[in-house]
Each structure stands twice: as C-alpha cells, then as structure tokens.
Amino acid sequence: MGHRPEGNLPVVVGIDGSSSAADAARWAAREAARRGAPLEVVTRAQDAIPLLIAKSRRAALLVVGDRGLGRVAGLTAHADCPVVVVRGEQPSESDGPVVVGVDGSQSGEAALEFAFRTADLREALLIAVHAWTDSALDAGLVPLLSWDDVETAEHPLLAEWLAGWSEKYPDVVVQRVVVRDRPAHAVIEQATAAAARLVVVGSHGRTGVTARGSVSHAVLHHAPCPVAVVRPERTPR
C-alpha cells in the first residue's frame, strides 16, 4: 500500500449524518483540495464498512469519523489504502506538527512515507517518535543493562530509518524523539504535548488494528487529533 501509485485517485469519505462524520467530510474536502484530487462522498448508514473497503481499492485515501471505533478498526485492518480517522476535541486542521511512530518494520516504513508526504504538503514539522522497552529482553539481563547506553544506541537506528525519506523530502523539518516507553503511549504523549494536527501509525493489517494491545488500536482510541493508519502494500498473488 505504501508505494502504490495514486495518479488521480479520489479521497473517499464516509458519512452517516453524525457530527463525527461531518468533521470527517470537512477534513476530507480540505485534503482533496490540497492534493488536487477528486472528492468522493459515500452516504450509507447501513453496511458502510464493506462498501468503503471496496472503494479503497481505487482510492488514494479513506476518511471516516470516529463514531463506532470498533467498526472503524475493522475498516483500517482491511482497506487497501491509508485510512484517516478524524477524532479529537479539535478535529479541524490545526497548525501543529505531524507525529509518526517509527519502529523499523515494513508497516512503519509505509507510515513514514505517508507522514513525510503529509508534512511536505502542509509545510509542517514532522515529529518522528521511536519508543523502546525492555519487555522483549531476557529478565536476567535487565538489571545488567545501562539504559543510557541502550538509548544512545537507538538514536542512530532512528536516523537510519529516516535518512532515505529525508533525502526524498528535503524541505521537511524532522524532530527526532527516542524514548524508553510503550510505543502507543509515547506517540500519544508527543501528539498531545505538541498539539499535533495528525498522528500517523503503521498497521500489519487484518488483525493488527483490531487486536487489543496493538499500537494502532491504542492510538485510534486515545489520540487527541485525527489518526492515519497505514498498512504496507500487499504483494500481488
């Protein structure tokens, strides 16, 4: 998904008469104008998710409100294009930065591509957040480690993951954040502190977003602003 050519594919927004859908429609209209892309509005109260998934096969972006987040999570897990869930106390576009979670994975790479392009279109600061924890380490090793040394080692990793995208988007100013924390909490905290206009997270798809405990699931439910969920491009069979 991340490297799919968009051409003149539309921005598709789903509306159902709710206030959150109205926020999504306004956000989608601005985004379509910014991209110079057509805007397609899907108005269907029942069975909207299957229709939106079908529309995603020929869309640059899907935009929905945060009403019924359980169903929305299913959409983000199965859509063939990035999905923006418009949420937060101030869902309208602000002048804040774009915040992206970075972990070196394939889904994280797709999120980076989307985040850099989004920041470039908006001339916005991009905050790249890399969080690490000791949860994957052998319990016997934890007391022996110097966390300062571990954190120092994580900085060049983040720089490496960002390097190619910074070359492609040289006008995007990037602020790097490396922190020992749970990834979802770190991303939400940075977005809140910076009054972010958009958070971008990667998802492995299918069960990735809907699974409790996943980063994208937590961010969708607790971010203070709209959230873009991006899956890697699927390999054709």
Q: 41: exposed, middle or buried (C-beta count within 10 Å: 0-12, 13-18, 19+)?
A: middle
- Report how far apart, in Å, the C-alpha atoms of 87 and of each of 15, 94, 127, 136 are: 14, 13, 19, 32
Residue 143: its pLDDT value, please? 52
pLDDT level of residue 71 (50, 70, 90 thresholds): confident
Instruction: Write down the pTM of the prediction.
Output: 0.87
**Concatenated DSSP letters for 102-144?**
--SSHHHHHHHHHHHHHHHHHT--EEEEEEE-STTS-TTTGGG
pLDDT in tens, 138-179: 444 445 455 566 667 789 999 999 999 999 999 999 999 999
Q: What confidence tier does 69 reach under pLDDT thresholds 50, 70, 90?
A: confident
Q: Is the pLDDT of residue 75 over 70?
A: yes
Averaged over 70-96, what is the pLDDT?
84
Q: What is the mean pLDDT of residues 19-35?
A: 94
- The answer for residues whose C-beta is within 8 angstroms of residue 213's C-beta and 6 or more apart is none
Predicted confidence band of residue 99 (pLDDT cuts 50, 70, 90): very high
Q: Which domains does the chain have, with CATH numbers?
A: 11-230 (3.40.50.12370)
User: What integer pLDDT is reported at residue 212 of this predicted model?
Assistant: 44
pLDDT, position 211: 46
Tell which phi-psi region holds residue 17, choosing left (phi > 0), alpha (psi between -120 and 50) or beta: left
C-alpha distances in Å from residue 69, one per residue of 64, 73, 123? 10, 6, 30
Q: What is the structure's pLDDT at 149?
A: 60
For residues 37-49, average pLDDT:
85
Q: Which residue has the higher pLDDT, 142 or 51?
A: 51
CB atoms within 10 A of CB 34: 13
